[in-house]
Amino acid sequence: MKLLTEFYELCPDGMCPDLLTEREKKEIANGAMYLTGRIQTADKQNGNGRVYPYEVLRREVDNYKKIVADNRACGELDHPDDSVVNLKNVSHMIVDCWWEGKDVMGKMKVLNTPSGRTLKELINAGVKLGISSRGLGSLAVNENGIKVVSDDFMLATAADIVADPSAPDAFVSGIMEGKDWVMDGGIVRERLVEKTYKQINTLVDQRALQEQKLALFNKFLSSL
């Protein structure tokens, strides 16, 4: 399983007023900040060249809505390097997500945490930011050569807030796809493929060396 991240832009100025409730508008008048935007799209090739089938994405969004309803759906500022939400880096809470056609929309409340305060300053300064979803899953290539997200996909968080990754996105994807992820006792753990290969090769080399030493020793004994 690979860590899959996708980027979408926030609404202009960070939020679309028509997506806010009257209560949220009052909170904003008292200093709160909400962000809105598209967080995923189904059945359409995205900027990373991947397609999320509607049925797969619908299942994961339905599951994620339960986390949202329990006030447990948090996101971080910037790209983490794994699928786990680190509470010390949380900048916002996802308070709602819904479908508009084949697009998944999201609404986030910026929190009064160190990362949240940084996020608020960036938004107020006019820094262009976007939404990045995080999930784990494998990819298959269809008959047209397009990467399609498989049924094993699991949505980790619907919305981290990141800088526009139009230039460095290929670099980030390169790092993420150099790692593999496995389920270990119900916990998702990182497995470095290259490191595993090196360990296996080392064991093979050591065994060959031991076998060679034993053969030489036996040859020596037989010559006595």
What is the mean pLDDT of the segment spanning 12-20? 73
What is the mean pLDDT of the segment spanning 32-37? 89
- Which one from 79, 83, 115, 133 is the annotated catalytic residue? 79
Q: What is the pLDDT of residues 119-166, one digit of tens each?
A: 999 888 888 888 888 888 899 999 999 999 999 999 888 888 887 543
Q: How confident is the model at residue 10 (pLDDT cuts 50, 70, 90)?
A: confident
- Cβ within 8 Å of residue 54, ≥6 positions away: 42, 43, 102
- Which one from 83, 91, 115, 132 is the annotated catalytic residue? 132
Which tokens in the block code for residue 126?
């006019």
Rounded Cα gap, residues 17 and 3, in angstroms: 33
To the query of whether residue 132 is one of the catalytic residues in this protein, the response is: yes
- Cβ within 8 Å of residue 158, ≥6 positions away: 39, 40, 61, 64, 73, 75, 94, 97, 104, 106, 133
How many other CB atoms are found less than 10 A from the CB of residue 141? 9
Rounded Cα gap, residues 169 and 159, in angstroms: 16
Q: How confident is the model at residue 201 (pLDDT cuts 50, 70, 90)?
A: low
CB 182 within 8 A of CB 188: yes
Considering the chain, what is the average pLDDT of its residues?
A: 76
Q: State residue 37's pLDDT score.
A: 86
Helices (H), ranges, 22-161: 22-29, 54-69, 114-124
pLDDT at 2 over 50: yes
Q: What is the pLDDT of residues 171-199, one digit of tens each?
A: 222 223 334 444 455 444 454 444 444 55
To the query of whether residue 138 is one of the catalytic residues in this protein, the response is: no
Rounded Cα gap, residues 117 and 121, in angstroms: 6
Beta bridge partners of 160: 132
Q: State residue 157's pLDDT score.
A: 84
Rounded Cα gap, residues 148 and 140, in angstroms: 5
Q: What is the pLDDT of residues 56-77, one digit of tens each?
A: 999 999 999 999 999 999 999 9
